[in-house]
Structure 1
Amino acid sequence: MSGELLTKSKIADALGTNPMRVTRFIERNKINTVKKEGKRELFKLTDFNALKNELNEPEAKEKAQSHSFSKDDYILTLKKQLEDQQKQFDEVLKSKDETIDSLKETIATSKHAYEDMKDQLTVKDNQITALTKLTNNAQTLNLVDKDPKRLQTAQGNAETKVEQSSSEKGVDNNQQASESEKPHKKHWWTWIRNN
């Protein structure tokens, strides 16, 4: 067995200690690996004679026992780590749920604001339409004030006919007035009578 290449855990089993103690011994004494198989590092057992001697001393045995971990200790440590990770996971989930609820509220508020803006735009569109009509009416009135002939165009044919009939009446009245203004023609017999 002394010429065999062993992993840290096999060396620890052979020496009756834990793998952590073997790792610390390797680092302290700068022992090089003889061979690597993937991630596994292999060492000669003979390189650990000094560690074997340390472990055989009575004080070292007590230290080794105080530093060694039993399987139950490993299990308890792992359970504690799992509980801590579960708590962190639960906190992350809770935070995620709160974030989702907050985003839902933000979306609802934005949707409400969007609907309000749509309503306001509809009101503004109606106001613009009304203002456009008023502006067109004001422009039409302004043009009529400047050029009354456009009023005839704006009012249509019905009013034009009314104006034509009134102008015809004016012509008849003018003819009657011109006839009454003419001097009466004097006949020959009225001259004789007067003399």
Structure 2
Amino acid sequence: MTQEELSMDTVIRQRIKGLRLAKGWSLDSLAARCFLSPSTLSRIETGHRRIALDQLVPLAKALGTTLDQLVEPTSDEDVVIRPEPEHQPGLTTWLLSREHSANGTTVAKMRITQERSVKDIGLSVHPGREWFTVLSGTVSLVLGERTILVHPGQAAEFSTMVPHRIGVHEGPVEILTIFDHGGERAHMHHDHASD
């Protein structure tokens, strides 16, 4: 077994034990759920027994995860995201999550200035929900017929089936936003298509 395989083997064992403990289960409890003996499970967790694929599948299922998540490789590249700013008139976006994230959400930091005019962005409607928090400045959030001012330190969450627009009120703003899949397609790709 190579050093990399040993390291991954250790990570898998730690994940199994960590998930078991997070659920508050004893070795006996998990063993009963995945049809292994408590002694076998103990030897797997401590590294005194090699893990077989036919043991990983029931373990993953019993722990409420997938086999892919249980054996997912780890590296610093999977942790650190180095966002590059993408510029449009009046809007700079830093993508803070990986493309195609597992949970279907996109996290971005946005800086919006007065240069981004209302006529350029219009009102948007798409399935889903959107959330943002204001880092600096004051956001002018248009939801249907209402205009809501959202100040630094405040957050907003709303259905994106309501016609909406995020703009500025008396100066530039910076927000941290989370889009679901529909929001990411509507706001990120739609805006980029006009570049």
Higher helix share: 1
Q: Where on the TM-score scale, by shorter chain, does this alignment land: which range?
A: under 0.3
Which structure's relative contact order is higher, taking Cα pairs within 8 Å and 6+ residues apart? 2
Report which of the two has the higher share of strand. 2
Q: Which has the larger radius of gyration?
A: 1
Normalising by structure 1, we get a TM-score of: 0.24
